[in-house]
Amino acid sequence: MHKLNKSFLVGFLILFGVNVDSFGQTKDFQSWNSMVIDWNLSPFLVELELDYNSLLSGSEDWSEYAMQPSVEYYPNASIDLFAGVYLTDTKQTATIDTKEVRPLIGFRWNNMDRSIY
């Protein structure tokens, strides 16, 4: 078996082979919607993600609007640098709304052999 196939199989088994219930989650019906728009301006990638999430059933009236503008820079084939901000407006209950601003900054090191694909 090819080295990449073995790595993929091991990762798949680790991620999906264990069934773990999330006790904090509700059993109500939910709707999660996301739209991502990308502009490739080599060596940059500008991205805008828009989300609308809501609780469709149950006693709580919960919904969330979110937006995440970000930019990525690729100085070479091995390094990706990124920065952005995650903005949310959440209706927690009928009387409580929350607004969040989460700045993002980071990097990715791509260590895969690009000759295999």
What is the distance between the alpha carbons of residues 31 and 54, in angstroms, rounded to a whole number?
A: 5
Give the domain ranges of the chain.
28-116
Check if the beta carbon of residue 54 is closer than 8 Å to that of residue 66.
Answer: no
Position 56 scores a pLDDT of: 83
Average pLDDT of the segment spanning 86-107 = 92
pLDDT at 76 over 90: no
Going from the C-alpha of 108 to that of each of 15, 20, 63, 97, the distances in angstroms are: 20, 28, 32, 34
Give whole-number Cα distances, 26 to 21, 31, 75, 103, in Å: 11, 13, 43, 28
Instruction: Give per-residue pLDDT as tens, 11-70.
Output: 666 655 554 555 555 567 888 899 999 999 988 999 999 999 988 877 678 889 999 999
Among candidates 15, 54, 57, which has minimal Cα distance to 34?
54
The pTM for the full model equals 0.66
